[in-house]
Amino acid sequence: MSNESFLAQRLICVAVIDRTEDAVPLAEALLAGGLNVIEVTFRTAAAAEAIARIRRSLPTMGVGAGTLLTADQVRQASEAGAQFGVAPGLSESVSNAAQKHKLPLFPGVITPTEVMHALDLGWTTLKFFPAGAAGGVDMLKALAGPFGHTGVKFIPTGGVTAANLPSYLAVPQVAAVGGSWMAERKLVADKAWDKITALTAEAMKIAQQTQK
Ligand code: 3PG
């Protein structure tokens, strides 16, 4: 899948997986809700194996690795078969490792300085994190002023819900929106697959109805 296909549905489910055996059922629950992209965060020891299992079992699922804080995590993600990487911030060591492993990266930014740094490093689709706490849609629209013409795109994440999803998706510079609300850690731990499918289907419906 290219960057464009990961972002085509304009939604990324950010997941924290504690048990590797939950990885495939979770991805199946998202697929049942119509979403074919998951970001498995490197916040648990299960992350790399979870990515590998989903890649082996569900070839139609786009699988990213999230919360990449170190070059070694980029290596592990890449070896596990991750198709893209996401970081909460901008780090040259993570950026260099992603380039070395040819892993498309969505590094995190908030400020204009960070956007300029990311563009310098060659990244043009940037996670905007933590979106809600940093000013949400108003902040994104302000950043679009000086950066809109550069082609930079944002993936706002952090504090997104079904309720505010339409306002983020309506910003022209928003490539996709990320969030955990469709598959919160507790829902995964409880194996609440039907609930996750329902929340995903609801989010997909909103995304399909929201035009840029
Ligand atoms: C992330 O890593 O992107 C965030 O933890 C997701 O934020 P959310 O839990 O508020 O959706």
138 has pLDDT over 60? yes
What CATH class does 3-209 carry? alpha beta
Of residues 25, 89, 27, 93, the one with CA closest to residue 64: 27
Report whether residue 156 contacts ligand 1, using a CB cutoff of 6 Å.
no
How many angstroms from the chain centroid is the CA of residue 95? 16
Residues belonging to the active site: 39, 127
Report whether residue 160 contacts ligand 1, using a CB cutoff of 6 Å.
yes
Confidence label for 210 from pLDDT (cuts 50, 70 and 90): confident
For ligand 1, what atom is nearest to the CA of residue 159? 10
Edge-to-edge order in the sheet of strand 153-156: 108-109, 125-128, 153-156
Residue 62 carries which DSSP code? E
Domain ranges within the chain, ordered by starting residue: 3-209
Confidence label for 211 from pLDDT (cuts 50, 70 and 90): low
DSSP 128-164: ETTTTTTTHHHHHHHHHHHHGGGT-EEEEBSS--TTT
Report whether residue 164 contacts ligand 1, using a CB cutoff of 6 Å.
no
Report whether residue 69 contacts ligand 1, using a CB cutoff of 6 Å.
no
Report whether residue 62 contacts ligand 1, using a CB cutoff of 6 Å.
no
Quick one: 167 exposed, middle or buried, by C-beta within 10 A (0-12, 13-18, 19+)? middle
What is the best residue among 180, 182, 199, 200 to mutate for testing ligand 1's pocket, by most ligand atoms within 8 Å of CB? 180
Average pLDDT rounded to a whole number, residues 188-198: 97
> Rounded to the nearest whole angstrom, what is the distance from the C-alpha of residue 2 to the centroid of ligand 1?
23
Which residue has the CA at smallest separation from atom 4 of ligand 1?
158
pLDDT recorded at residue 175: 96
Average pLDDT rounded to a whole number, residues 117-141: 97
32 has pLDDT over 90? yes
207 has pLDDT over 80? yes
Confidence label for 5 from pLDDT (cuts 50, 70 and 90): confident
* Amino acid symbol at 158: G
Average pLDDT rounded to a whole number, residues 52-65: 97
Residue 85's φ and ψ, nearest 5 degrees, are -125, 155
Contact 168, 156 (CB under 8 A): yes
For ligand 1, what atom is nearest to the CA of residue 127? 3
Residues whose CB is less than 8 angstroms from the CB of residue 154 and which lie 6 or more positions away in sequence, other chains included:
125, 126, 127, 128, 140, 143, 171, 173, 174, 175
Confidence label for 204 from pLDDT (cuts 50, 70 and 90): very high
Buried b (16+ CB within 10 A) or exposed e, 112-139: eebbebbbebebebbbbbbbbebebbeb
Sign of the alpha-carbon dihedral angle for 195, 187, 110, 102: negative
197 has pLDDT over 70? yes
Average pLDDT rounded to a whole number, residues 159-167: 96
For ligand 1, what atom is nearest to the CA of residue 160? 11
> Rounded to the nearest whole angstrom, what is the distance from the C-alpha of residue 179 to the centroid of ligand 1?
5
1 has pLDDT over 60? no
pLDDT recorded at residue 212: 55
Mean pLDDT over each residue of the chain, to the nearest integer: 96
For ligand 1, what atom is nearest to the CA of residue 181? 11
Which residue has the CA at smallest separation from atom 3 of ligand 1?
157
pLDDT recorded at residue 4: 62
Which residue has the CA at smallest separation from atom 5 of ligand 1?
158
The end-to-end CA distance of the chain, in Å, is 23
- Percent of the chain beyond pLDDT 70? 97
